Structure 1
Amino acid sequence: MKDIEIYCRNTHTSHTYPMGTSLLEISNDLNIKLQNQVCGAIVNHQVKELSFCVVKPKHIEFIDFSHPDGMRMYIRSLIFVLYAAVKEVFPHVAFKVQNGISNGYFCELQGLEREISESDIFSIKQEMNALIEADIPFVKKGIITSHAVDLLAKQGLEDKAQLFEQQGRMYSYLYFLNDLGDYFYGNLLPSTGYISNYGLVPYFDGLLLQVPRRKHFKKLHKVVYNDKLFEIFQEQKDWAEILNVSTIGSLNDFALQNRSGDIIKISEALHEKKIAEIANQISARGNGTKVVLVAGPSASGKTTFSKRLGVQLAVNGMRPYQVSLDDYFVDREHTPKDENGEYDFEALEAIDIEFFNHQLIELFEGKEVRLPRFDFHSGKRMQNGKTLKLEKDDILIVEGIHGMNPGLLTDVAEQNTFKIFISALTQISVDEHTHISTADNRLLRRMIRDSRYRGYRAADTIKRWPSVRKGEEKNIFPYQENADIMFNSATIYELAVLKKYAEPILKLVLENQPEYMESTRLLEFLSYFKPISDVEIPPTSLLREFLGGSSFAY
């Protein structure tokens, strides 16, 4: 048998193995020791399961649960085990993963027709632990697509069956846990025995599946009841039901029937209605509200939302003025640095808090102030020549990532503010067991905007994204529940529209670039969507901030 050469990044050594040797065999032979148990590998910048057999020369890096893709493997496998346990304990109940929240996954048992009890959770966990103890392999099988569709439908997984059918492939892959079939659009662990830490607790009217901390695997995240965020997720679920679109498959049906225009019109109308309701709440408070703070993570659509809110406030007889918190950055040499010695532009200390509050107080006192403008090229704060003086019915709309942070407004009374947190909380799922990450939605938005308006390649945006996410987790999300109200900037149809713009720039990421792994994951994800044209998207849509064609000036 022919030998092939592999280079192992973990050991920085080259080795030869017979063609067809599995990654698991190579890992065992090299005695790979990582922080946690080896659960997969990156092969030529593509994620592979340990069952993958090498038939050509490869660069291999073994990964554990501390790697983002290793953790994805773990979560998918854990969800499969939870599904199998629910199926055993409640054969006639539909198990659905709805969304990510509280650093875990909110799940529903549809058809239970009563509240979930502690006894129910105990029974499910017992079954899960039995499956884990048995160390049952996850077996991936290629079967005729029509047979896969029938099998999924018989298990009650109609959404998965619909999506498989729409792909039009002759053969499809399913994972099996004993005789139970499923698919998770990504790699799984070798077996159930690799799962060693999880939690399952009641959460609102469902379950919260707790997953380990990526860098401290033996610890679970603390359960946090994000009431306002959960309310928005429930609102998004209601909107999806209004449109009869809750999964990629049901959205694809609208595209295949040339009815995507209906989805666009209703989605945009729902956004406009929600923004008008928020404006009415602000107006109802009277002249006491002097400043509206709009905050949210990257690519959430803060700027367009602020402008649309301004229009609705104007309809209510108020005169809004837009202010960007970015113009209050300290000069570059005073910007704080992170643990790597890089400028930390997302730290609260990057804002001149004292100057910002001083100008607000002067405005509230009826004084005229000269507004600043931050020059990102020189790293200096300038005067932009514009002056502002607030009259009786005037109101400030301040947009910036720190709007919910209690440390921002040190000199302004709480009753003078109205706080709005905005994020792109994806409104559809892939199927019953696979939610769509809101971070992926925002990454695609940002990638397109960076490419169209900032001259960045997709690889540049992907490379920067982990740092952006780290800043959000530290400086934005901990304060989101301080909002008076939350707004979901995502639309049900948008990922099918983003597909046309994202695919060409993702395909430009080369195989020898580290970002290739993420680009292929996103391309695989987008492949499940049938494209929807952006022709009917109005020029005031939040999505226009990323696609172009907006009637607002930025």
Structure 2
Amino acid sequence: MENVALAFLDGNEIRELSRLKAGQDDVQFITIKDADGERIYQRGLVFLFYIALKELMPEIKFRVIHSLSHGIYVEADPPEAIHENDLVLIERRMHELVRQAIPFTKKEMTIPEAKAIYAAEGLLYKNEIIDYKRMKKVTMYQCRDYHHYFYGYMVPDTSFIKDFEIVYYAPGFILRHPTPAHPSSVPPFVEQAKTHAIHMEAEHWGRLMEVETVRDLNTKIRQGQDRELIQVQEALHEKKIAQIADDILRQKKRIILISGPSSSGKTTFAQRLKIQLMTSGVTPASISLDNYFVDRVDTPLDEHGEYDFETIEALDLTLLNRHLRDLLQEKPVHLPVFDFISGTKSFSAEPFQLGPEQPLILEGIHALNERLSSGVFQKDKYKIYVSALTVLNLDEHNRIPTTDNRLLRRIVRDHRTRGYSAADTIARFASVRKGEDRHIFPFQENADAIFNSALDYELAVLKKHALPLLEEITLESPVFYHAKRLKKFLYYFLEIEDETMVPSTSILKEFIGGSSLDV
């Protein structure tokens, strides 16, 4: 599976294999090892499941909800409509369809033609979202007598979806598949119970607010209910941060460790957590892990012979843990100050000391890795994972990847604060993701609390900031196909024009600007 071509790059655009010409061998193929290959594989898998379900249980509908445990978490509507025994039959039928190598045929049609097909196949919910398409044509895929719209490219036929499994995970199930990190087969199952719980909590609130898909959000905006939506979403964030602060105080935790992937809003979260702790009369201190780098000459090298500043071995763990133990005993320490030009550290002249029961906040990519704070007892530590776990989907079968949400945040922030173009940020993001996969995601279930920084309304605000920057990326750019994908789904969103409705302490302000916090 790992070397099977799923699509190819023609210049700087992704093309489906059906467009590959005979003898055209000067192209770059996209496989499951690529992020875009994984997306293509997922779409084929969802379509395959849709067909098998239609054949065996034609009245049952389902919703793709979020990524989980190297797969996609799905629920029937209602959840109890599909039992574990049903999934055995569905998976068996899917494998039969794979062996038949049934083509996925791409068809272009007008919006009225698409709506007629949706009505015939019971996909009425798709009628509303296609009204927001920028183009007046709809691209749909057909497999036998079944039609469906998918946001993105598709494999040529069912035989390309050889490797998968369905894991019953009540009240839903997980469609699991190979990944870029484990391309040869479906990786071993690793439960992500805490991450799933946070996703489902956000899903619950989205259902209560009647904002589960882009069409729901657009309806709120069109009806002038965006202000109330923003207020409720921000209040939920504040409530969750207050609960985490109360939990820290109740357990008398002294070392607060915060980690999360790029553009998850960790800095704003840490500031707001500090404020919540202060409302209880506790003022936490903080130290920067950046000052605990080993000297440059002792920095490990990566596989390319370059300094690897992201590996945990780049930190002076012995010094850090000695300082943490001393600080917990309220002993004074002289903190290191790392000079990034000379690659050496010196020590501050003024001693640093914690007061009685005063907590200490540390933020960094390795904060959830037990090795970082191995010299501190578990009873003294509280680990927090922060990420933008997007639960808003385009529709019931097309999800918005959390990585796309974070990438858009980063594009907007990097342009505003560093002057980077969208192309610059997109080009760097692959290496950022590699570091996250290696140093952050494996440890997220170690957290005592997970904070979901995603806001259901945020893409409607980010759109007007991100879209002009993405429009600057031309076909000549090697990241053009990434920009094209991001633009395509942003076009579906109505914009929230009045940003004064977004409070100055919002996570979102860290990216669009105007935060009243020290970010």
Structure with greater proportional strand content: 1
Query: Using a 3 Å threshold, how does the CA distance of structure 1 residues 35 and 155 change in structure 2: closer, same or farther?
Result: closer
Separation of aligned partners in 2, 1:81 and 1:357: 51
Q: Residue 543 of structure 1 aligns with which residue?
A: 508
Out of 480, 501, 517, the residue aligned to residue 516 of structure 1 is 480
Correspondence for 1:77 among 41, 44, 47: 44
Match of residue 298 from structure 2:
334
Q: Cα distance, 1:47 vs. partner?
A: 0.5
TM-score where L is the length of structure 2:
0.94
RMSD of aligned alpha carbons: 2.2
SS at match of 2:389: coil
For CA contacts below 8 A with separation 6 or more, give which structure has more relative contact order. Answer: 2
Instruction: Give the direction of change, closer, same or farther, for the CA distance of 1:247–1:222 in structure 2 (3 Å limit).
Output: same
Aligned residue number for residue 476 of structure 1: 440
Q: Structure 1 residue 427: deviation in Å?
A: 2.4
Aligned to 2:178: 212
**2:375 match: secondary structure:** coil
Alignment correspondent of 2:415: 451
Q: How does 1:152-231 map to 2 (within 5 A)?
A: 152-167=118-133, 169-214=135-180, 217-231=183-197
Instruction: For residue 220 of structure 1, give the secondary structure of its aligned residue in structure 2.
Output: coil
Is the Cα contact below 8 Å between 2:266 and 2:386 reproduced in 1? yes
1:65 to partner: Cα distance: 3.3
5+ unaligned residues in a row in structure 2: which ranges? none
| Aligned match for 1:271, one of 218, 237, 241 | 237
Which amino acid in structure 2 is aligned with residue 93 of structure 1? Answer: I
Q: After the TM superposition, which of the residue ranges 89-98 and 372-381 deviates more from structure 2?
A: 372-381
SS at match of 1:419: strand
Tell me the distance in 2 between the aligned counterparts of 1:382 and 1:158. 65
Moved more, 507-516 or 404-413: 507-516
What SS does structure 1 have at the residue aligned with 2:287? strand
Q: Please list the CA deviations of residues 413-462 of structure 1 after superposition, one character each: whole Å capped at 9, or x if unmatched.
A: 11011111111100201111111111111111122222211232222222
Equivalence map 1:4-403=2 (5 Å):
36-52=3-19, 60-111=27-78, 113=80, 116-117=83-84, 119-167=85-133, 169-214=135-180, 217-286=183-252, 289-383=253-347, 387-403=351-367
* Displacement after TM superposition at 1:153 (Å): 4.1
How far does residue 324 in structure 1 lie from its aligned partner after superposition? 2.7
- Tell me the residue number matched to 2:380: 416
Aligned to 1:29: none
1:526 paired to 2:490: yes
Residue type at the aligned position of 2:3? N
Separation (CA, whole Å) in 1 of partners of 2:405 and 2:339 = 29
Q: CA deviation at 1:35?
A: 6.4
The verdict on how the C-alpha distance between 1:522 and 1:382 changes in structure 2, with shifts beyond 3 A counting, is farther
1: CA distance, partners of 2:46 / 2:149: 11
Superposed CA deviations along residues 297-324 of structure 1, whole A, max 9, x for unmatched, are 1111111101100000011121111323
Which residue in the other structure is 2:467 paired with?
Answer: 503
Preserved contact between residue 254 and residue 357 of structure 2 (Cα < 8 Å):
no
Is 1:491 the counterpart of 2:455? The answer is: yes
**Aligned CA distance change for structure 1 residues 464 and 380 (closer, same or farther; 3 Å):** farther
| 2:174 alignment partner, SS class | strand
1:80 CA displacement: 0.3
- Provide closer, same or farther for how the CA distance between residues 126 and 433 of structure 1 changes in structure 2, counting only shifts above 3 A: same
Unaligned runs of 5+ in 1: 1-33
Report how far residue 328 of structure 1 moved. 1.9
Pair 147,291 (structure 1): closer, same or farther in 2 beyond 3 Å: same
Alpha-carbon spacing, 1:360–1:77, altered in 2? closer, same or farther (3 Å): same
Kindly, what percent of the aligned residue pairs are identical? 41
Look up the SS of the partner of 1:337 in the other structure. Answer: coil
Deviation at 1:127, TM superposition (A): 1.8
Aligned equivalent of 1:552: 517
Amino acid at match of 2:324: L
Secondary structure, counterpart of 1:174 in structure 2: strand
The Cα of 1:384 is off from its aligned counterpart by 6.0
| Alpha-carbon spacing, 1:59–1:478, altered in 2? closer, same or farther (3 Å) | same
Look up the equivalent residue of 2:429 and give its one-letter code.
W
Comparing 270-279 and 397-406, the one that deviates more:
397-406
User: Bigger CA drift: 376-385 or 221-230?
Assistant: 376-385
Could you tell me how far apart the structure 2 residues matched to 1:441 and 1:375 are?
A: 34
Q: Number of matched residues?
A: 516
With the length of structure 1 as denominator, give the TM-score of the two structures: 0.88
Are residues 216 and 473 of structure 1, via their aligned partners in 2, closer, same or farther at CA, if it must alter by over 3 Å? closer
Shift of 1:146: 2.3
For 1:249 and 1:304, how far apart are their aligned partners in 2? Answer: 29
